[in-house]
């Protein structure tokens, strides 16, 4: 059961999950004082919390050092209550222990203090002093006193046996545990619990391993319990319950916990997609300098996208809670593959490592280093794609300028002699010891990309042999072996392993960086050569694959329902057009209703199909709606109400309401019947190609080669098939690549009408994202500067400049990634150039004493002036003018006889009749119209010119930017006030009103040519 309690001393709220009945003595995470907790056996009973006497507090704290000395440093590596992995790693067996109440010290080393036991640990063993192998491993038993007279080693009834019977609530389920000591600023703990030893069996469900975000991954081999950070991570940041909303993300469930915080499976509400949400622990968030550096690194990594790298989506905060969202990979990590299968066949292992190497090579060519490569950080999707996780969350070159040299004797408060070898170290030697390069153990901040090559070589070693190159009980032991011990050849461990493959692995894990591969491109080339594949992979794509692809494309395009869908849509809109033209001469209201039916059916289908199929236009439109400001929503609501008023004035409201009901029904039937049938008929073809691509990926064929193969050999209609396989964005990228190839055949575009709309929406969304990111970066930088002693005003000014600099740097990084070539790039040069560029950028931002002067264009986009020139104002003014014109027409009964006049004009198309109809543009000369009977504004509504001005403003409102208002507002003023202000009359144009309309439209046309811009 889940209970909520308060510390009896400081009233700090604490939470316990899956609490079992018993007595406990946890420690508060805030005041660090122990208290007594009684969990009743009755689920309806209330837990009892009491303060401990001072004597008990003294005993609990003073007993620990003696116990630590008794147990020795090796035994102190026991990491978490209820977990046997550390004890068994030391060779200890579960023992049955009993102690007197006065002899129950809270045995815990500085390492175990980070995951504080829920109750005092029994550490006495028979015979007094305990060797590491005999160290007591009873970590989380109830604090019930032993019966009187029981001997310390007698095994009386009060003794607690590991694994025997139901466990009480473990310490990892309690908020009262102390978090680990923070790492040095700028260092990030990645996935924190990969065993240095053989593969183990993790209790974590498969979906928790997805995304490397479980923070509790193990390497495979003989079954042995693993020290799962997912189970024993700190709980001080507070739990987020399922269904809670955090900054636009709805929490679905917790995936795991680690040194950095908790990871949740969440749904991003703006895009309705699943993401992995990593919430930074409160103790890290309380260090503004660390948070600022962390956000910079993650923000830089988020700008780079690659098939083999997990994408970082968003960095944000809600109150004091900092978090970021990442791509959610449905699959498992290579650590899980090792755990389940042990060593892998050479071809399969090489296929995985080649994909990871491509992702890392992409990062290296953009100046980024991972520093924590291991099987747990390599994720295998269900499509067979390997992705590198936590890139940018560990280290990037720009952080090196501010990091101290690594020389501290301890890691997170735990000496290296005591730290376990299976965890990611987040300070002096950041990384995982089992996969850490020798130079990284000495100075993590000073290593280059070749440290990743070493770690990837250790990963390939583990995949081939079932275990990493070196194992040991502590981090210090393993790191020492990496520096001094020779690596056993893989073919000496696995019989039949090709010697040439062992040579590749040994060169990757050479202790001297100069003796290793110097770039990952060389590793990829040698591994592909071993698999008898060229660098681009064409030999693997033979006639068999071509025939399967072409057969699938033919089956895909020949789906009968697909042709039916196109014919049905064309027939529907054709019938609506014919009906509207036929009805306009008899009942223009019904004609308008038919037009409305066509428009609303398309809109309803757009929403329904977008929700069900995640269509690209709908995805952008939905995100734009979600990120729109309150003023945007107010504008749309007011515009909708004015449109309803207009329909009511025209007498069309009920017709349009009926058309709306019919439109929704038609759209639903079309999607449920036709679209679903198309999907069923085409799914077999897509599944066949997907399986083929998965197999080729696992053979090491590059993703770029696979996509080019599909685009090149799918025929003239390749775009629809390609989009169904890889998505809309990938199709646009492939189209761009083909357009740059002079030998590529020009083919028709699939639904090309979507492209300008998608580009417009994406442009606006990019502006919103950049503005949001800039605000977040400024807030983070300002907090960091204030923590360094800057006053609020100076911190705000400098933070604004720094945020602008980071945003500019991110834009440059995206451009560089887009323009990346296949030419070899020295990672060391790329890192140095990027580091210098960032240093120069930061120096310039920090050297300015005053905020940069804003341009006139910037001023016109801010405050009241910016709002007055915005598209919202144009839209609202246009709706008001249309409504006023409709009121004027209704008042003068111009709409009542419009049908008769249209039929008359159709019957007798003489010029006098046409001029008579055009007289409606004049001030009631022909129709004897009177001005609108409204105070103040009524005098301006004397013709149809205000209605034309309103329609023009509504149209131009869709073009963002203040420049457009400089044309649109004068054009509307000419149409509205021109006739009554002595504007010359031109008979052929219908009088002053006609002249005003022509002049106003000319000004608006100039706005379309010269007033358009990318944003406000």
Closest to 414 measured CA to CA, from 401, 440, 398, 433? 433
**Is the whole model's pTM more than 0.75, yes or no?**
no
Q: What's the pLDDT score for residue 493?
A: 93
How many other β-carbons are positioned within 10 Å of the β-carbon of residue 958?
A: 11
Structure tokens at 730: 């990938």
pLDDT confidence of residue 612:
85
pLDDT at res. 985: 66
d(CA 1008, CA 370): 48
208 vs 215, 265, 329, 422, CA distance in Å?
9, 9, 11, 19
Q: Tokens representing 192?
A: 């924190």
Which positions are annotated as active-site residues? 372
Are the beta carbons of 757 and 618 closer than 8 angstroms? Answer: no
Distance, in Å, from the CA atom of 991 to the CA atom of 993, rounded to the nearest integer, reads 6
The torsion angles phi and psi of 868, rounded to 5 degrees, stand at -65, -30
pLDDT confidence of residue 211 = 36
Sequence-distant (6+) residues with CB within 8 A of 756 are none
Q: Which residues have C-beta within 8 Å of that of residue 646, sequence separation ≥ 6? A: 882, 883, 886
Question: Closest Cα partner for 205 from 254, 170, 251, 172?
Answer: 254
Tell me the helix, strand and coil percentages in the chain, rounded to 5: 55, 10, 40
CA of residue 769 relative to chain centroid, distance? 13
In this structure, the number of other CB atoms found within 10 A of the CB of residue 164 comes to: 10
Task: Report the C-alpha gap between 212 and 219 in whole angstroms.
Answer: 13
Q: Which residues of the chain have pLDDT under 70?
A: 1-2, 17-18, 42-44, 53-239, 258-259, 392-431, 533-540, 817-824, 846, 848-863, 895-928, 985-990, 1013-1016
Supply the angle between the helices 676-698 and 718-726 in degrees, to the nearest 10. Answer: 70
Beta-bridge partner residues of 387: 379
State the pLDDT at residue 863: 62
Write the CB contacts of 826 (distance below 8 Å, at least 6 apart in sequence).
519
Q: Nearest Cα to 761, choosing from 958, 604, 590, 955?
A: 958
pLDDT of residue 549: 94
The DSSP call for residue 537 is -
pLDDT at 858: 54
Residues 6+ away with beta carbon under 8 Å from 925: 919, 991
Per the CB < 8 A criterion, the answer to whether 507 and 515 are in contact is yes
| The predicted structure's pLDDT at residue 112 | 31
HEC letters along 900-946: HHHHHHHHCCCHHHHHHHHHHHCCCCCCCCCCCCCCCCHHHCCCCHH
Quote the pLDDT of residue 111. Answer: 33
End-to-end CA distance of the chain: 54
Tokens representing 678?
Answer: 């198309």
Q: Is the dihedral of CA 329, 330, 336, 341 positive or negative?
A: negative
- CA–CA gap between residue 437 and residue 424 (Å, rounded): 13
DSSP secondary structure, 604-666, as one string = HHHHHHHHHH--HHHHHHHHHHHT--HHHHHHHHHHHHHHHHHHHHHT-HHHHHHHHHHHHHH
Measured CA to CA, the distance from residue 580 to residue 574 in angstroms comes to 10
CA distance 701 to 355: 8
């Amino acid at each position: 059961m889940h209970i909520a309690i308060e510390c009896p001393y400081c009233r700090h709220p604490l939470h316990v999950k899956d609490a079992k009945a018993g007595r406990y003595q946890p420690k508060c995470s805030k005041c660090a004082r122990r208290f007594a907790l009684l969990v009743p056996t009755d689920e309806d009973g209330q837990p009892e919390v009491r303060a401990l006497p001072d004597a008990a507090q003294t005993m609990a704290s003073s007993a620990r050092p003696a116990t630590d000395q008794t147990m020795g440093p090796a035994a102190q590596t026991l990491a978490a209550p209820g977990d046997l992995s550390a004890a068994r790693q030391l060779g200890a067996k579960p023992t049955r222990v009993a102690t007197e109440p006065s002899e129950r010290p809270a045995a815990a080393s500085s390492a175990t203090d980070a995951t504080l036991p829920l109750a005092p640990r029994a550490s006495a063993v028979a015979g007094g002093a305990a060797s590491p192998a005999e160290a007591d491993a009873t970590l989380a038993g109830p604090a019930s006193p032993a019966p009187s007279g029981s001997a310390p080693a007698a095994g009386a009834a009060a003794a607690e046996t590991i694994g025997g019977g139901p466990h009480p609530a473990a310490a990892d389920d309690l908020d009262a545990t102390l978090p680990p000591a923070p790492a040095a600023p700028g260092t990030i703990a990645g996935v924190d619990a990969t065993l240095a030893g053989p593969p183990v069996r993790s209790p974590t469900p498969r979906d928790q391993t997805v995304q490397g975000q479980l923070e509790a991954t193990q390497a495979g081999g003989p079954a042995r319990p693993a020290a799962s950070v997912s189970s024993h991570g700190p709980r001080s940041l507070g739990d987020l319950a399922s269904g809670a909303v955090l900054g636009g993300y709805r929490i679905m469930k917790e995936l795991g916990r680690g040194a950095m915080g908790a990871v949740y499976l969440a749904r991003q509400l703006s895009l309705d997609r699943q993401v992995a949400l990593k919430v930074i622990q409160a103790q890290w968030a309380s260090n503004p300098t660390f948070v600022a550096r962390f956000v910079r690194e993650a923000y830089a990594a988020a700008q780079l996208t690659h098939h083999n790298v997990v994408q970082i989506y968003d960095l944000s905060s809600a109150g004091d809670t900092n978090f970021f969202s990442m791509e959610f990979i449905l699959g498992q990590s290579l650590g899980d593959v090792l755990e389940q299968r042990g060593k892998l066949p050479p071809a399969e292992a090489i296929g995985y490592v080649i994909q990871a190497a491509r992702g890392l090579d992409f990062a290296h060519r953009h100046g980024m280093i991972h520093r924590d490569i291991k099987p747990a950080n390599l994720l295998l999707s269900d499509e067979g794609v390997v992705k590198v996780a936590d890139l940018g969350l560990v280290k990037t070159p720009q952080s090196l300028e501010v990091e101290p040299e690594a020389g501290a004797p301890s890691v997170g408060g735990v000496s290296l002699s005591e730290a376990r070898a299976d965890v990611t170290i987040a300070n002096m030697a950041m990384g995982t010891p089992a996969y850490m390069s020798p130079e990284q153990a000495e100075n993590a901040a000073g290593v280059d990309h070749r440290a990743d090559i070493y770690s990837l070589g250790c990963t390939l070693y583990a995949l081939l042999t079932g275990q990493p190159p070196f194992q040991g009980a502590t981090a210090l032991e393993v790191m020492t072996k990496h520096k001094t011990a020779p690596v056993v050849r893989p073919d000496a461990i696995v019989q039949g392993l090709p010697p040439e493959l062992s040579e590749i692995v040994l060169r990757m894990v050479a202790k001297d960086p100069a003796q290793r591969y110097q770039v990952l491109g060389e590793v990829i080339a040698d591994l592909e050569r071993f698999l008898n594949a060229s660098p681009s992979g064409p030999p693997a794509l033979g006639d068999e694959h071509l025939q399967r692809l072409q057969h699938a494309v033919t089956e895909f395009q020949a789906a009968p329902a697909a042709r039916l869908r196109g014919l049905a849509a064309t027939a529907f809109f054709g019938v609506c057009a014919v009906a509207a033209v036929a009805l306009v001469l008899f009942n223009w209201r019904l004609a308008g209703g038919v037009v409305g039916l066509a428009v609303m059916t398309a809109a309803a289908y757009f929403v329904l199909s977008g929700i069900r199929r995640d269509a690209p236009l709908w995805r952008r439109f939905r995100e734009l709606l979600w990120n729109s400001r309150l003023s945007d929503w107010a504008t749309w609501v007011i515009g909708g109400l004015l449109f309803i008023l207009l329909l009511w004035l025209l007498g069309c409201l009920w017709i349009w309401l009926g058309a709306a009901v019919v439109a929704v029904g038609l759209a639903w039937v079309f999607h449920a019947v036709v679209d679903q049938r198309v999907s069923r008929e085409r799914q077999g073809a897509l599944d066949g190609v997907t399986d083929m691509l998965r197999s080729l990926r696992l053979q090491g064929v590059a993703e770029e080669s696979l996509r080019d193969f599909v685009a090149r050999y799918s025929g003239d209609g390749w775009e629809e098939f390609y989009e169904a396989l890889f998505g809309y964005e990938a199709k646009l990228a492939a189209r761009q690549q083909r357009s740059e190839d002079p030998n590529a055949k020009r083919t028709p575009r699939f639904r090309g009408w979507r492209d300008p709309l998608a580009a417009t929406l994406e442009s606006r969304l990019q502006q919103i994202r950049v503005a949001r990111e800039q605000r977040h970066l400024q807030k983070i930088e300002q907090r960091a500067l204030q923590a360094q002693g800057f006053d609020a005003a100076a911190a705000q000014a400098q933070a604004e400049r720094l945020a602008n600099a980071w945003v500019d740097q991110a834009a440059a990084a995206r451009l560089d990634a887009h323009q990346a070539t296949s030419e070899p790039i020295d990672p060391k040069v790329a890192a140095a150039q990027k580091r210098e560029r960032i240093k120069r950028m930061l120096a310039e931002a920090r050297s300015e004493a005053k905020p940069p002067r804003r341009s006139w264009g910037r001023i016109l986009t801010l405050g009241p002036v910016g709002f007055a020139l915005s598209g919202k104002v144009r839209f609202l003014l246009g709706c008001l003018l249309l409504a006023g014109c409709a009121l004027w027409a209704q008042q003068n009964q111009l709409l009542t006889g419009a049908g008769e006049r249209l039929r008359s004009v159709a019957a007798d198309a003489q010029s006098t009749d046409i001029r008579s109809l055009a007289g409606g543009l004049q001030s009631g000369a022909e129709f004897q119209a009177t001005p609108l009977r409204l105070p103040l504004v009524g005098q301006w509504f004397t013709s149809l010119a205000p209605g034309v001005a309103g329609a023009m403003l509504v149209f131009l409102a869709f073009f963002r930017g203040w420049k457009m208002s400089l044309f649109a507002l004068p054009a509307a003023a000419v149409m509205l006030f021109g006739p009554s202000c002595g504007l010359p009359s031109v008979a052929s144009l219908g009088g002053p009103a006609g002249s005003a309309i022509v002049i106003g439209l000319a000004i608006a046309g100039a706005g379309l040519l010269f007033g358009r811009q990318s944003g406000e």
